[in-house]
Amino acid sequence: MNKIASIVLLIVAVALLWSAGTQNEPLVRMRSVYHLASAEPLHNAPPMVAFTTVVLGGVRGILADVLWLRASFLQDQGKYFELLQLSDWITKLEPRCTEIWAFHAWNMAYNVSVMMSDPEDRWRWVRNGILLLRDEGLFYNPADPELFWELGWLFQQKIAGQTDEAHLFYRMKWAAEMNDLMGGGRPDYARLESGAGMARLRSEYKLDPEVMRELDTAYGPLDWRLPETHALYWAWMGKKYATAKTSLPCDRMIYQAMASTFMRGQCLFRPGDNTYETAPYPESLPRAMKAFEYAIARHPDEAIKAAYVYFLQNAVYVLHVMNREEE
């Protein structure tokens, strides 16, 4: 009798599990309709991500939390290489979590890179941080404005900034890649469309030529060998998905990128002899001012007005030095 009851209970359990499984897809659709999900369901995910998402279910969040505690411990101890593998596991468990992708990329670009004495090795880790956000983080979160901003930040602060002693090396390496891809700083879109460059632009660098044209029209012509231009691009992409309340970081990055473009938007780059110099680009001044004024009109933030005043003071000085007194 006990055996029969066990068999009946097993059949009932299997039937209930099957019934629960059939409700998953309708529930996912309902969460999307009622805006209860942070993102659309994963499509074409790698097997490991699909496995952890489906099989572990809600338990994967608990496991990710445990791994986060371990990651914090390793971070405090400065064990960055161990932290890399742990962070990779966490991204597989929680591919929709923006903070995980941002932290993992930041760790590679900032913590691990500076442990290297060779600039080439440093650049490899900085570039890995960029690739992680661009090729993986945004693959799973294609409409996350914060991730777009995080990607732009690596270009704006890590490569274009001066906090890392190897920043000039990073700028040269990126300029060389873009120079090889586009045949110069200002792309000939007609030539790109007729060759293999367009496929590389889209698939390898995840750059949309239509958006590039849009930016060149609004703020350019821009030099795409400069990291400031790519910070502008990714902030612009983030704005497409941001709400009025969440667009401030992207708007701020846009006017900061345009301020940098005015100060050093002309690039002299000769790959053969590793010559890399920048100079002010005074023709971009009206468009830089437009970026500031747009942000001021949208956001009641006194810091933006103060930044605009500071920028205009620098612009007056640069124009004076360049003997453009009328401007």
Instruction: Give residue-wise pLDDT tens across range 161-182.
Output: 999 999 999 999 999 999 988 8
pLDDT of residue 317: 96
Q: What is the pTM of this model?
A: 0.80
Q: Please give the C-alpha separations between residue 138 and each of 28, 147, 234, in angstroms, as whole numbers.
A: 21, 7, 11
- Name the least confident of 45-49, 66-70, 187-191: 45-49
Mean pLDDT for the stretch of residues 219-243: 95
CA distances from 212 to 18, 166, 188, 227, 312 (A): 49, 28, 11, 14, 27
Amino acid at 273: D
pLDDT at res. 39: 43
Residue 221: cis peptide before it, omega within 30 degrees of 0: yes
Of 106-110, 265-269, 310-314, the range with the highest mean pLDDT is: 310-314
State pLDDT tens for residues 12-21: 777 776 676 5
Contacts of 279 (CB under 8 A, 6+ apart): 264, 266, 268
Reply yes or no on whether the pLDDT at 52 is more than 60. no
User: What was the pLDDT predicted at 37?
Assistant: 47
Q: What is the pLDDT of residues 242-285, one digit of tens each?
A: 998 889 999 999 999 999 999 999 988 887 777 788 999 999 99
The confidence score (pLDDT) of residue 47 equals: 54
* Average pLDDT value over all residues in the chain: 84
CA distance 291 to 175: 25
| Percentage of residues in the chain having pLDDT higher than 70 | 85
* Predicted pLDDT of residue 34: 47
Average pLDDT over residues 106-113: 90
Nearest-CA neighbor of 95 among 69, 126, 60? 60
**What pLDDT score does 190 carry?**
81
Q: Give the Cα separation of 302 and 312 in Å (integer).
A: 16
Name the band, by pLDDT with cuts 50, 70 and 90, for residue 49.
Answer: very low
Residue 241 confidence (pLDDT) above 50: yes
Q: How far is CA 214 from CA 208, 210, 221, 236, 237, in A?
A: 10, 6, 10, 10, 11
For 79-91, write each residue's pLDDT tens digit. Answer: 777 777 777 777 7
Please give the pLDDT value at position 268.
86
Q: From its phi and psi, is residue 97 left (phi > 0), alpha (psi between -120 and 50) or beta?
A: beta
Q: Which residues pair with 269 in a beta bridge?
A: 276
| Statement: residue 156 has pLDDT above 50 | yes
Distance CA 200, CA 294 (A): 33
CA neighbor of 146 nearest in space, from 112, 114, 106: 106
Q: How many CB atoms lie within 10 A of CB 229?
A: 26
Q: Hey, is 242 helix, strand or coil?
A: coil
pLDDT at 130 over 90: yes
pLDDT at site 176: 92
Tokens of residue 31, six digits: 């969460």
DSSP H helices, the chain, are 2-22, 24-33, 47-51, 59-77, 80-93, 98-106, 119-131, 138-140, 145-153, 167-182, 189-193, 197-203, 209-219, 227-239, 248-264, 285-298, 302-321
Pairing mode, strands 266-270 and 275-279: antiparallel
Q: Can you tell me the distance from the alpha carbon of 173 to that of 164, in angstroms, rounded to the nearest whole number?
A: 15
Q: How many CB atoms lie within 10 A of CB 36?
A: 10
User: Which residue has better confidence, 307 or 86?
Assistant: 307
At residue 25 the predicted structure's pLDDT band, cuts being 50, 70 and 90, is low
pLDDT exceeds cutoff 90 at 314: yes
Residue 97, classed as helix, strand or coil, is coil
Q: What are phi and psi of 39, to 5 degrees?
A: -160, 165
